[in-house]
Structure 1
Amino acid sequence: MTRTERLGYGALIGVAAAGAALGVAEPVAALVGRGSSPVVAVGLAVIDAVPRPVKDFGIRTFGQHDKEALLAGVFVLLALFAVGVGVAALSRRWIGVGGVVVFGALGAVAALSRPAASVVSAVPSVLGTVAAVGVIVFLLRAVPRPAASAGVPAAAAGAARPAPRHRSRPRARLQDQPQDRASARDTPPVRRPGLDRRGFLAVTTSVVAASAALGGVGRFLTSLRDVGAERRGITLPAPADPAPALPAGADLKLPDLTPFLTPPRDFYRVDTALVVPQVSIDEYRLRIHGRVRHPLTLTYQDLLERDLIERVITLSCVSNEVGGDLAGTARWLGVRLKDLLDEAGPADDADQLLSTSVDGWTCGTPTAVVRDGRDAMLAVGMNGEPLPLQRGYPVRMLVPGLYGYVSATKWLVDLELTRFSDVAPYWVKRGWKREAPIKTFSRIDTPRPLANATAGRLAVAGVAWAQHRGVEKVEVRVDGGAWNAADLAAVPSVDTWRQWRWEWDADPGRHTLEVRATDRTGATQPEAREKPFPDGATGWHSVVVTVS
């Protein structure tokens, strides 16, 4: 067998075995639930294990598509691993079987490591491993091999060497007698081991097709858990305390300027969930417990029956770079969080509100901030509709003025009053600061970076935010010159971003525009650029434009 043939047969064997493993595991995972899919579990384990700089790189490079990129990377690595295992198995069967078992063990361990896991979470990986071992052993026996010569064992056929030629004819020996030569001619040829090439390809294709069909069954079973139809059937009650109408002029409606209210489909998403959790309102329970006098357990309907507040609030991600777009504004409907905590009665030393998502992600919020009078809430609605699935349906938490990693838990199922000294939440364990008020930020939306413009009057516009402090002033300068005050749009509260505009008499040439904002405490955005780690980026945003 040539090297090319070995690589081809090995690749087919490995990919077919990997396909069988996933084809069997995914339907079982759909039935078991609990994050038991091997691919998803391994992907989540990678998210938990990779160093912070790698996570930051993923967000910077892929933005809101970082999860798709990670899953694609997992599949690519799996395919390469499968090819390597298949090729190695042609020489040593135990290497192929061992490689499959190792991969299955990794999937099982990853599934068992998830917060909501139980023993059955390992079942999909185990059954997938059994299927893959069966496929790899079967296909190894079916691999086409060179046929053995008549009367020569198959194992030695490829190793036979021609006898050396002699000048003198050897004398006849007993085994060279005519009757023996006739007997050799009558010996039936040795049967060629394995299948021929066409048969092997047919069998391998059948295995891959069957695996794909099983994967389709898995996707169908997973779709049965989809709560999208349930969400569309919900009618939210009117708020007892509605948000006032947006003031006139809150949205300047300029081309390329970010709209004041962000459509749900455009709202940024940064979280650790590779697959959007499907939480049914029929099964939903929220626990409020820990260092409290009166623990509470609430259903979704319990929350809807309370007095709901409606507020327009801007959220921002701590991963947002200078000039980045990881921020958005929406009209939120929910239960005031302070009221729930007052009912539970936190202990005096319970300085942390630990919130937990259904997928086990944790977030720590200062209890004092939640109860200081700001509109912290457990949101059930966004822009007049139930929360979109990707935004945390059915219930999420938000606290104005704090970055999301310490305030904005999606798919919320647990609130525990505890102490910062006792529990470190997910991102704090990874070096981010435990208290993270949103920093003053400003951004130029128009003109775009490296834009070409026509000389004359040109609108420079963008957004600025300093949630729960409010933006007092925005200034723009050209080529390091004097600062110019921009006109500010109206805002409904200090908890939202603010659009701004400045009219520039643009001269021909290449120019650099810079912007800075000052909040209502009098603090001006610093010039020096700092990366998001460990508590948010700072620095003036700038764009370069060419005027002709």
Structure 2
Amino acid sequence: MRRVSFWSGLFVGALTSVLALALLELGAAAWKFPFVPFDMFEWITRILPGLLITAGIDVMVSLISALGIRPTSVAAKLAEQGMAILVFVVGSAILGGLVALVSRGRTRIALVAGVVAGALLLTAGIEAASRRGEPSTAAIVWLAAVLLGWGALCGGLLATRASIARKTHGMPARAERGRRNFLLGSIAGVAGASAALFAIARRLRPEAIAARGPTGRAARLRDISGTTGPAASPRADVLARRIMPVQGTRPELTPNSSFYRIDINLEPPRVNAEEWRLGVEGLVDHPLSLSLDEIRRMPAVSQVITLECISNRVGGDLIGTSLWTGVRLRELLDRAGLQQNARAVHIRAADGFYESVELADMNDPRTLLVYEMNREPLADIHGFPLRIYIPNRHGMKQPKWITKLHVADRDGPGYWVERGWSAKAIPHTTSVIDVVDKPLDRGGTRVVPVGGIAYAGARGISRVEVQVDGGAWEPASLIAPPLSPLCWVLWRYEWPYKAGKHTFRVRAFDGTGAAQEVRVEPPHPDGATGIDELVAKV
């Protein structure tokens, strides 16, 4: 009897997993069936210790930053998806190796062992997929066909390899030729079938996960004329009189397609708008179940806001500014009738995320349940159909894909708070150099325009200063007033030209006059601090 080695089992398990991936991708694209590698990876990351997940995030973002890859959120999401696929392939390879050890070259046992290995994958896949919602019968049948089929194929190929080895035993030349033909034939067959399936899925995928509405436009200044309340924008004629930002500074309003996306999902939840309801329950006199249309019929509030991820590094791009439209949380809670002992709202989301809103934020007229971004419905990746905005908080405190508001008599848990991140998540004052532009003439003097942003949550920015080559700190000009009291401020500074390589640094002061923290601290647990600097040759 000729056995098949564990290493051969590893190879066959990994190779056939590529075909399984192609079929799973086809099912996800064509019928929105669960994509098991992503579901399993999300399941694993949600049960691992928070400190381990945080360490992994830090390493990943540090590597992306060191390599200079932008946008950070896109690169991070692709890296996570790549890790999920790698975990699936490695897991399949290990199962293939175990099938080879158990079967010991026997055809029937190889097939049975392969199917058992597929059943293990199927069980884990269904369990992981159920975390997003109970899979449909059709989805379970599809997953069973793909994963049990993978196991049968894996076992069958290992049995075939053992048969070739038996027939060529004692004939080295024929054995080598048989091994090579098996290897090339297996690779060619799997690669050809997988390529065809991936191509079909690619054609179907855009329609299967299309974001609702265009996602490439930024709001224009005339769009913000309808803002209201304590965070209303200045009049258009006031904004038109401001100085111009330096060419190359990021847009004052971030296009939807460029707005960062950080969440706990490898793919965004796809919520059916017709079936979705917002539940309001707990310590209320009149529990509610509201459709999106009912929420949109309530008095709307629009305000320009800046949102920053607590994982953002100094000078990072996990920050953006948009015009958001929604209803005041307080108004919706008033409709439900808050009871006297209500102290917090526990928020639940379609992806399993959860957070708690304290009483002061509940009553803040700037706290919104948002359904539009830059005058367009929220895209799937940004929280369709409903997300929350809370002033002066990092994004980790602001769930997307909201499904339930539970009013309680005490603060509740938060997903990232339980994993070691800040309970308050208040943004630090930060400032960033976006660009050191080409020299230009200014009244007979050559100057170098330098531009960027400064942000301090809802505290606002009172001044920005720039330092060149370790010299004195000089005041920059603010593009003021900002678009709202809740957003970043653009700034510009014109430095007297001197040829050569120079180091530019920037610092900001919030609306109270307090300087930003210069001590270098990592993002975890309270957000990064330090001074941004840029070395440029002019």
State the TM-score bracket (shorter-chain normalisation): 0.7 to 0.9
Partner of 2:13: 14
In 2, Cα distance between equivalents of 1:216 and 1:349: 57
* Deviation at residue 135 of structure 1 after TM alignment: 1.4
Partner of 2:133: 116
Alignment of 1:244-323 (within 5 A): 245-246=235-236, 247-249=239-241, 252-323=244-315
Alignment of 1:125-204 (within 5 A): 125-143=143-161, 145=163, 158=170
Letter in 2 for 1:520: G
> Which residue, 415, 428, 431 being the options, matches 1:442?
431
* Deviation at residue 430 of structure 1 after TM alignment: 0.3
> Which residue, 23, 42, 45 being the options, matches 1:44?
42
In 2, Cα distance between equivalents of 1:504 and 1:203: 65
**Contact kept in structure 2, 1:364 and 1:434, CA below 8 Å:** no
> Which residue, 469, 472, 480 being the options, matches 2:470?
480
In the superposition, relative to structure 1, how do residues 418 and 118 fare at CA in structure 2: closer, same or farther (>3 Å)?
Answer: farther
2:240 partner SS: coil
In the superposition, relative to structure 1, how do residues 204 and 320 fare at CA in structure 2: closer, same or farther (>3 Å)?
Answer: closer
> Which residue, 92, 109, 115 being the options, matches 2:102?
92
**Contact kept in structure 2, 1:318 and 1:404, CA below 8 Å:** yes
Partner of 1:410: 400
> Which residue, 49, 74, 83 being the options, matches 1:73?
83
2:428 partner SS: coil
In the superposition, relative to structure 1, how do residues 368 and 100 fare at CA in structure 2: closer, same or farther (>3 Å)?
Answer: same
In 2, Cα distance between equivalents of 1:2 and 1:478: 74
**Contact kept in structure 2, 1:37 and 1:124, CA below 8 Å:** no
Alignment of 1:505-524 (within 5 A): 505-524=496-515
* Deviation at residue 231 of structure 1 after TM alignment: 7.8
> 2:363 matched to 1:362?
no
**Contact kept in structure 1, 2:38 and 2:84, CA below 8 Å:** no
In the alignment of these two chains, the number of paired residues is 497
In 1, Cα distance between equivalents of 2:495 and 2:190: 66
**Contact kept in structure 1, 2:161 and 2:182, CA below 8 Å:** no
**Contact kept in structure 2, 1:27 and 1:215, CA below 8 Å:** yes
**Greater Rg by CA:** 1
In the superposition, relative to structure 1, how do residues 147 and 504 fare at CA in structure 2: closer, same or farther (>3 Å)?
Answer: closer
Indicate the larger mover: 513-522 or 340-349.
340-349
In 2, Cα distance between equivalents of 1:220 and 1:544: 44
In 2, Cα distance between equivalents of 1:19 and 1:457: 57
**Contact kept in structure 2, 1:239 and 1:333, CA below 8 Å:** no
**Contact kept in structure 2, 1:225 and 1:278, CA below 8 Å:** no
* Deviation at residue 427 of structure 1 after TM alignment: 0.4
In 2, Cα distance between equivalents of 1:147 and 1:465: 68
Share of identical aligned residues, percent? 31
Partner of 1:61: 63
In 1, Cα distance between equivalents of 2:466 and 2:186: 68
Partner of 1:178: none
> 2:479 matched to 1:489?
yes
**Contact kept in structure 1, 2:259 and 2:320, CA below 8 Å:** yes
2:156 partner SS: helix
1:108 partner SS: helix
CA RMSD of aligned residues (A): 4.0
In the superposition, relative to structure 1, how do residues 299 and 244 fare at CA in structure 2: closer, same or farther (>3 Å)?
Answer: farther
Partner of 2:416: 427
In 2, Cα distance between equivalents of 1:292 and 1:326: 37
In the superposition, relative to structure 1, how do residues 507 and 77 fare at CA in structure 2: closer, same or farther (>3 Å)?
Answer: same
CA deviations on 1:25-82 (whole Å, 9 max, x unpaired) are 556667996x843111112124322421112222343421212112212223333444
> Which residue, 509, 525, 541 being the options, matches 2:532?
541
CA deviations on 1:83-111 (whole Å, 9 max, x unpaired) are 45445544532696365454444333333
In the superposition, relative to structure 1, how do residues 444 and 83 fare at CA in structure 2: closer, same or farther (>3 Å)?
Answer: same
In 2, Cα distance between equivalents of 1:383 and 1:125: 39
* Deviation at residue 300 of structure 1 after TM alignment: 1.0
In the superposition, relative to structure 1, how do residues 300 and 92 fare at CA in structure 2: closer, same or farther (>3 Å)?
Answer: same
In 1, Cα distance between equivalents of 2:206 and 2:450: 47
Indicate the larger mover: 317-326 or 62-71.
62-71
In 2, Cα distance between equivalents of 1:89 and 1:459: 66
In the superposition, relative to structure 1, how do residues 249 and 379 fare at CA in structure 2: closer, same or farther (>3 Å)?
Answer: farther
Task: Give 5+ residue unaligned stretches, structure 1.
Answer: 149-153, 161-191
* TM-score normalised by the chain length of structure 1: 0.78
Letter in 1 for 2:483: P
**Contact kept in structure 2, 1:116 and 1:360, CA below 8 Å:** no
In the superposition, relative to structure 1, how do residues 28 and 514 fare at CA in structure 2: closer, same or farther (>3 Å)?
Answer: closer
In the superposition, relative to structure 1, how do residues 510 and 19 fare at CA in structure 2: closer, same or farther (>3 Å)?
Answer: closer
**Contact kept in structure 2, 1:331 and 1:384, CA below 8 Å:** yes
> Which residue, 458, 479, 482 being the options, matches 1:468?
458
**Contact kept in structure 2, 1:476 and 1:502, CA below 8 Å:** yes
In 2, Cα distance between equivalents of 1:213 and 1:397: 42
Indicate the larger mover: 503-512 or 393-402.
503-512
Partner of 2:335: 343
* Deviation at residue 472 of structure 1 after TM alignment: 0.9
CA deviations on 1:132-152 (whole Å, 9 max, x unpaired) are 22212322332264577xxxx
* TM-score normalised by the chain length of structure 2: 0.79
* Deviation at residue 411 of structure 1 after TM alignment: 1.8
**Contact kept in structure 2, 1:284 and 1:300, CA below 8 Å:** yes
In 2, Cα distance between equivalents of 1:325 and 1:29: 31
* Deviation at residue 426 of structure 1 after TM alignment: 0.7
